[in-house]
Amino acid sequence: MVQKLDYLRESPSQTAGPYVHIGCTPNFTGIDIYGGDLGTSLKTGPVQGQEITIKGTVYDGTGTPLRDAMIEIWQPDSAGLFRSANETRGTSDPNFTGWGRSTGDMNTGEFTFETVKPGAVPFIDGRPQAPHITAWIVARGINIGLHTRIYFEDETDANAADPILTRIEHQNRIPTLLAKPEADGVYRFDIWLQGPTETIFFDI
């Protein structure tokens, strides 16, 4: 005889949060474990190159900050080398992980990364790409994580020759991929999910 299971209550339906924070960033939610959340810092010691801070907020189509978003980034070090066993061009900075994870502030939605300005990496045909960081965004209502790139507004010449940026049909949307200097060593990169300033997302 099959046992009835109607005494079990269905858990709330969620696309990503709030449970994504409990699983991925437990310390952020007040669960003290592992001595800190993975990806909190990209630096494990003195690093090479220009140290920078990237700040931003994820906005929905109404311009409202998403306070439960989580962003992950991947990038090379200041010499353009990745912290990977597949990196054959040289030895990457041993004090730089190249991967970070940040949750938006529960009150403002702002995320923060303490990192280094990345060096140029080659495109598949050997041409140098402008310095950039790959970002992945998840939050409630987002069924599949969104991928985008963070370029730097002050890398004018490199951006103008970048093999990805130059392929974008609507060049007027390129500013949605540019982190803007906000202060000395601080860049702002806001992510818009919808609307006239919607960030360019990549189908990866």
* Structural domain contains residue 26: no
**Mean pLDDT value across residues 30-41:** 84
Confidence of residue 5 (pLDDT cuts 50, 70, 90): low
Query: Which residue type occupies 72?
Result: E
How many CA atoms, within 13 angstroms, populate the side-chain half-sphere of residue 94?
0
- Bigger pLDDT: 204 or 173? 173
Number of domains in the chain: 1
Nearest to residue 149, comparing CAs of 167, 123, 166, 131? Answer: 131
- Bigger pLDDT: 169 or 28? 169
* Structural domain contains residue 23: no
**Distance between alpha carbon 146 and the CA centroid of its chain, in Å?**
10
* Structural domain contains residue 28: no
**Mean pLDDT value across residues 128-132:** 97
* Structural domain contains residue 57: yes
* Structural domain contains residue 14: no
Is the pTM higher than 0.95? The answer reads no
Nearest to residue 151, comparing CAs of 176, 184, 121? Answer: 176
Q: Residue 48 maps to which CATH number?
A: 2.60.130.10
Q: How far is CA 189 from CA 55, 149, 202, in A?
A: 6, 10, 16
Say if CB 171 and CB 128 are below 8 A apart: no
Say if CB 162 and CB 149 are below 8 A apart: no
Least confident range from 5-14, 70-79, 164-173: namely 5-14
Residues 76-123 have pLDDT tens digits of 999 999 999 899 999 999 999 999 999 888 889 999 999 999 999 999
Say if CB 83 and CB 97 are below 8 A apart: yes
- For residue 57, the SS3 value is strand
Note the pLDDT of residue 19: 65
Range of the domain at 138: 34-192
* Structural domain contains residue 178: yes
Residues 131-168 have pLDDT tens digits of 999 999 998 778 789 999 999 999 999 999 999 999 99
* Structural domain contains residue 16: no
Residue 17 scores a pLDDT above 60: no
Note the pLDDT of residue 94: 96
* Structural domain contains residue 124: yes
Residues 162-190 have pLDDT tens digits of 999 999 999 999 999 999 999 999 999 99
